[in-house]
Structures are given as C-alpha cells and as structure tokens.
Amino acid sequence: MTVGPYYDGVPDYMIDVYDWAYVDPKWAHALDHNWVVRILLFFNDQRLIRAYLNEIREGMRVWQVAHVYGELVARVAKKVGPTGVFHVTDITPVQIEHATCKLAGMEWAKVIRADAASFVVEESYDLICSFLLLHEVPEEKKHEIVDHMLEKLHKGGKAVFVDYHNPAWWQPIRYILKVVNHYLEPFAEAMWKNEIQHYAREAEQFTWRKRTFFGGVYQCVIVEHKQ
C-alpha cells in the first residue's frame, strides 16, 4: 500500500489507475511541461485551450475543477485579471503544489484542495470549466461532477467541458486511443459512447452546444441555463 503525504486523502481509483500521472510527485514533475501536453494531445493543445479562453471575460468569477499540466492555469488567471476571481481545485497534493507555484503573485487566483464533485462554495460562478477531467473519472463520478458544476453555475453563466469524444472512423488516432484506453485510461471510452449531457440529472434545463476537433477526437461543450 502506498503511503505518504502525497497520498493522503487521494481517492483509491486515482492511486490504482493514475498514480504514475497525477499522484506520484516524481512523475508529476516530469510531466508538467507544455511540450508534454502538446505531444499527448497530438498538437491540439492550443486549439483546445483557446476554446476555453475564448469564453472568459475579464472580471469574471471562474472555477476550474482540476489542475491541468502546462501553462493553462496561468493563462486563465491572466485572462480573468485582478478585477475577477479564479479558483482552481484539485484533490491531489502534488497538483495543488504545482498550481500554487504557477499562480504565485496573482492575488485574485486561489488554489483549493477539494473534490470537484463536492467543492463547497458560498457564491456561484460566471464560468466553470472541466478541462480533460471527465474521461479520467469513473462513471458515477462523472455524474456527480457534471451535476455539481451546473449547480454552482450563476444564472447567465456558462459551463465549459473540454474533453475526448468519439473519433470518426477514418481518424487514425481513433485506433491509437483504443489501445491507450485499454491499458491506461479505463474510464475514457465512456466519452465515446455518451454525450456529456447524459451525465446531467437536469439536462433539460440547459442548452448544450458542442464543437468537435481533430476528426472528432476532442469536443468542447458550452452549457447555459435556458432563458
């Protein structure tokens, strides 16, 4: 059994499946680089980041439900600016460390250790983003995270989901990801089978707009309260 401060309070599924990626500090330090993110996303990182950043306006209250490797959190914080609020949550100690370093000196940005499915907040948000998180959590957790995000969304605000999608049959990356999912990403193929709104208990109360990228490998879904 793995023990130590970097494992305290970390869900079992993360230790069992993603220790090498997000929990063990040695691996986290090795992977947290822009060039690693670029390669893992088949050079689509900037397109996906822009899909998120384009929804942010200066002065917004923004919650990102998990830390992401590379420059993303710093870019989001700068786009929100000192007149807004930016919160990043994560459940693993090493990710909290990394996010805190990246946001140093930005007083409007705060890093909080919390589960994305149960983060307690006093005020709602203008924008809440799950960036490549849903494919890495078990089915029940997907439901809990999506519902919790929509629950904390300010009327008139937006939820942004950037994640994997069902690639077109002609997309060669589809077959690479089949192998990756089988050996490394056991929760990911559900994103090929289900729309993100499938995980929302009250999906009919929202509008869901989806764009896909790179032959359907990735998706960006924008969710808003119905008027």
Tell me the pLDDT tens digit for each residue of 166-182: 999 999 999 999 999 99
What pLDDT sits at residue 121? 85
Q: Which residues contact 48 (CB under 8 A, 6 or more apart)?
A: 41, 131, 132, 162, 213, 218, 220
Tokens of 118: 């149960």
In sequence order, the β-bridge partners of residue 209 are: 222
pTM metric for this prediction: 0.96
What pLDDT sits at residue 123? 86
What pLDDT sits at residue 1? 52
User: What's the N-to-C CA distance of the chain in angstroms?
Assistant: 51
**Measured distance CA(28)–CA(95) in Å, rounded:** 8
The stretches in the chain having pLDDT less than 50 are none
* pLDDT per position as a tens digit, 43-88: 999 999 999 999 999 999 999 999 999 999 999 999 999 999 999 9
What pLDDT sits at residue 51? 98
Q: Say if residues 98 and 33 touch (Cβ distance below 8 Å).
A: no
Q: Say if residues 94 and 88 touch (Cβ distance below 8 Å).
A: no
In CATH terms, the superfamily for domain 12-225 is Vaccinia Virus protein VP39 (3.40.50.150)
Q: Say if residues 89 and 130 touch (Cβ distance below 8 Å).
A: no
In sequence order, the β-bridge partners of residue 162 are: 131, 220
* Domain boundaries, given as residue ranges, for the chain: 12-225
What pLDDT sits at residue 227? 80
In sequence order, the β-bridge partners of residue 131 are: 162
Q: Are strands 218-225 and 153-164 parallel, antiparallel or unpaired?
A: antiparallel
